[in-house]
Amino acid sequence: MSAFDLAAVFMVLVAAGGWINAKTLRLPHAVAMLLVGLIGAGGVLALQQVAPDAARGVTDAVKRVDFARTVLGWMLGFLLFAGAMQVDLSELRRRRLSIWSLATLGVLASTAIVGAGAWAAARWLGVPLGLPWALVFGALISPTDPIAVIATVKRGHLPATLQVVLQGEALFNDGVGIVVFTALLAFATGAAPDLGRAALSVVVQAAGGLALGVVASLAVIRLMRRVDDFVVEVSLTLALAMAVYAGAQALDLSGPIAVVGAGLLIGDRRAEGAAGETAEAHLRSFWTLVDEVLNGLLFLLLGLQLAALPLVPGLAGLSVAAVGLVFVARFLVVLPWGAFLRSRLGHRHAVPILAWGGLHGALSLALALSVPDGPQRTAILAAAYAVATFSVAAQGLTFAPLAAWLAKREAR
């Protein structure tokens, strides 16, 4: 089966699964696509018992999809750009302190809590996972997934402050998380740790990426104001997303943060004058379509990865412990800011909203799949997959009802 044939099969599954979901269950799109992938993976695992050769062929086809490269190489840039266009930039500026602290200090604190906890749990369960590799797991699982968060928060009808904090944190902390993950991965594989250089790298890559995205976006906005052709204007934004992401990576800057900066300016209401009314409608429609289709494809692939992951007995305990550890770390990280928002702005239920709304998804699994082969890789993959699946399915499915229930309680 060629790459094109495989892509065609995946798109048919996304379209068919989306249609069935829209006509029947009406689940959040990400949850529905994840379930389609999990059902497909479960079918492959069942097929192994009756037709192992056929099952092996399907598994080999799934394995041919380089999930890590697919997510980090090209899907992430488009999805972050589309997601950033939906964020209220003026509200984000007002909450920048909470967003940046959660995206930086929050990621570091969560990395330490989850890493130490995973190391202790692995020792108790007899799973080979040393402290350096446990910290690597903490780094890859701590950033909230912007794709899952934005898709879920849109359904929650939250106050503007809580919505922008969750969205802004998710958009920026993945860039920080990737840098922290890269530094800890180098440490775990034997490189001498240099905390000062690692900290400087985080600052330089984040600030440089943001500056690149903003400058490029301002240039594109000026070009858009000189034409009134929606095809040209949509093409300019498409080129912007691709060029900024690729250019930042070539310059050793943060590609995710660069493309977020570009998307925020393009989507800013004050920049809408850059496009005519018709072009603006086409621009929004195009990026909404990109967002929905790639989201569906991404979570379908996430579910299907179960068929390609090694199933090793004894890792169930670590996977369950990882789910609990990640949530405890998330709760502790958001507790100070939740208390602040409650005391200053009257959001009585800010802590549970920020804690339960911090979803983890495909980005974490993509980073886990980039861990080099070894006994630690299987443990990290199992734990990351368990957290991502629970987060997208359980948290993604219950977040909107939880937010509605808390809103009713707050209105009393």
pLDDT in tens, 290-316: 888 888 888 888 888 887 777 666 688
Look at residue 273 and tell me whether its pLDDT is greater than 60.
no
1-5, 85-89, 94-98, 128-132: the lowest-pLDDT one? 1-5
Q: What is the pTM of this model?
A: 0.88
Between 306 and 394, name the one with better pLDDT.
Answer: 394
User: What is the pLDDT, as a whole number, of residue 192?
Assistant: 60
User: What is the pLDDT, as a whole number, of residue 271?
Assistant: 54
Identify which of 182, 86, 149 has the alpha carbon closest to the alpha carbon of residue 330.
149
User: What is the pLDDT, as a whole number, of residue 113?
Assistant: 97
CA dist list (Å): 96 to 162, 202, 261: 12, 18, 13
User: What is the pLDDT, as a whole number, of residue 215?
Assistant: 96
User: What is the pLDDT, as a whole number, of residue 412?
Assistant: 64
User: What is the pLDDT, as a whole number, of residue 307?
Assistant: 78
Extents of the domains making up the chain:
3-411
State mean pLDDT over 217-239.
90
User: What is the pLDDT, as a whole number, of residue 1?
Assistant: 59
Confidence of residue 285 (pLDDT cuts 50, 70, 90): confident
State mean pLDDT over 387-391.
93
Q: In the structure encoding, which two tokens stand for residue 251, read together?
A: 């310059």
State mean pLDDT over 126-135.
92
Instruction: Please state, rounded to an integer, the average pLDDT across all residues of the chain.
Output: 86
Tell me the CATH number for domain 3-411.
1.20.1530.20
